[in-house]
Amino acid sequence: MTKQKFLLQGAILTAVSLFLRITNMGYRSYLSQKIGSEGMGLYQLIFSVFMLTVTLSTSGISLAVTRMVSAAIAAGRRESIRSTVARCFGFCLTISLCIAAVLFFLAGPAATVFLDNPDAAPCLRILGLGLPFMSLCTCMKGYFLAVDESLSTAASDTLEQILTILATVYLFWHFSPQGIEAACLAAMAASTLGEMTSFLCSWTAYRHSLHKNTPKEKVKSKGVLKGLSHIALPCTLSSAARSLLNTSENLLIPKELQKFGLNYSASLSQYGLLQGMAMPMLYFPSSFLTSFASLLIPKIAKERELHHGKAVAHITGKAVSYAIAFGLFFSAVFVVFGQSWGNAFYHSESAGEYLRVLAPIVPLIYLDVVVDSLLKGLDEQFNSMKYNFSDSLIRVLLVLCLLRFFGMESYICILFFSTIFNAALSLHRLLKVTKVRLSLLKNVLLPLLCAVLSVAITNFLLSGFSLQNAFLQLALQTIFSGAIFTFGFFTVCQPESRSKN
């Protein structure tokens, strides 16, 4: 992939990702107005249980397909691509159907035991219907990434998002579901419909791509099971373990808050404010990073296979430098304009206050997005998963030990500790493998100064300027700050990294 093509494809994917994040935030804002913070808490808990089954069905498959198809292309064995992907399809479909059946038949006990709400069982059942479609889409996503056609995935994701939102609005408008359980069921039904549509779109693009990227001659691929075992199996096992811990953490938070003294409704409301509202806002800007980060996997994997150590170091240094700077900027934005974000998206000052409190760990969270992709491209996925698992285990233990005594404030402290712990381990491993050094002055202090000054100048200049539309006010604050930061960053910082060699 040439630099120009990489940047163009990354820019398009970023625009699509930004659109998806904006519409998702708007969707969550719509849901929060319909079902409140308590409903958002239940919605988030249901998805926490469902995401465990998603992890078991899909984790590691996309990376395995990308790596195996990329290897076939690099070795000039394009005739084996069809067989490779087809075998991955068979593997995914078998696993996902089994897990979907388990979820369907055990939804009742799961809703009673884990959610303390038997009426939520239909939500889990209807989500389970979408698992096979999600699993197959994951395979195709890995293929598209390997053949530099990630825009096909972006198109299907966009269609899925639009259809999900339209279906949800229609169901709420036409049926007016009463109660948070019925409202969640409508949202879950719309989500499953979106997954099915995404599969049809991806499948059409996949069949067209095969004719373009593979010869008519078909050769049975060899070593697919070995590749899945080496790449996907460690990812699946470790991701499943981490997902189980994450699900346990999410389910424990409301329960432990009740032991702290809150009733069921209040505990769900507090959980919904943080996980259902504040955290999506915190991750919203990372859409600018995730697209480029995903493209880094095949790019750095290729350089590694060719033993281009200097190229690997250069890519790593640049990616880490820009990720740190990007995180520092939005950390400053959240500190100063966090209340504007809460009012714009959820009409909630409480959600905005959570965002301001969590702002200091934003640079590490965004950095981890890029570091994780780089480690996967360098065949370091096992270490990455090991760090993530340790992080999740510590969080669960701390939730059990602290929340019942100190409430939600202690969970904020847990988030700070776990984020620092995970980022430190991952970054240390990446720098060790790539032999890259970072400059504290150029990579941290100067970008931090630019971020603080850009936001402070914007806040001063716009202090007497107010728009009636909260979204426009927020956009003006962010864009104005971003323009000042970008100018200062590329004028003063000039981020560089040095290889130890």
Query: Per residue in 361-391, pLDDT tens?
Result: 999 999 998 998 888 888 787 787 788 888 8
Give the DSSP letter string of 196-226. HHHHHHHHHHHHHHHHHHS-S-----SSHHH
Is residue 117 very low, low, confident or very high in pLDDT (cuts 50, 70, 90)? confident
Give Cα 283 distance to the centre of its chain: 8
335: left (phi over 0), alpha (psi -120 to 50) or beta: alpha
Which residue, 366, 339, 370, is CA-closest to 354?
339
Using an 8 Å Cβ cutoff, are 131 and 175 in contact? no
Maximum average pLDDT range among 40-49, 220-229, 325-334, 336-345: 325-334
Helices (H), 59-130: 61-74, 81-105, 107-115, 121-128
Tokens of 479: 């864009």
pLDDT of residue 290: 77
pLDDT at 88 over 90: no
Tokens of 429: 């491993």
pLDDT at 428 over 50: yes
Annotated domain spans of the chain = 1-284
Query: Alpha-carbon distance 363 to 326, whole Å?
Result: 7
- Total residue count of the chain as it appears in this document: 501
More confident residue, 434 or 59: 434
Q: Could you give the dihedral angle defined by the CA atoms of residues 288, 21, 479 and 473, in that order, rounded to the nearest 10 degrees? A: -170
What 3-state DSSP class applies to 275? helix
Please give the average per-residue pLDDT across 56-83, as a whole number. Answer: 81
Which residue, 18, 17, 92, 99, is CA-closest to 62?
92
Query: Alpha-carbon distance 194 to 198, whole Å?
Result: 6
Which residue, 15, 13, 18, is CA-closest to 287?
18
Enclosing H/E stretch for 437: strand 436-438
Query: Per residue in 299-312, pLDDT tens?
Result: 787 777 777 778 88
pLDDT of residue 332: 95
Beta strands at 497-499 and 436-438: parallel, antiparallel or unpaired: antiparallel
CA quadruple 196, 209, 376, 313: dihedral sign: negative
Please give the average per-residue pLDDT across 462-485, as a whole number. Answer: 84
Query: Per residue in 1-18, pLDDT tens?
Result: 556 666 676 677 777 777
pLDDT of residue 92: 85
Residue 349's φ and ψ, nearest 5 degrees, are -70, -30
What 3-state DSSP class applies to 134? helix
Which residue, 246, 268, 243, is CA-closest to 255?
268
pTM: 0.72
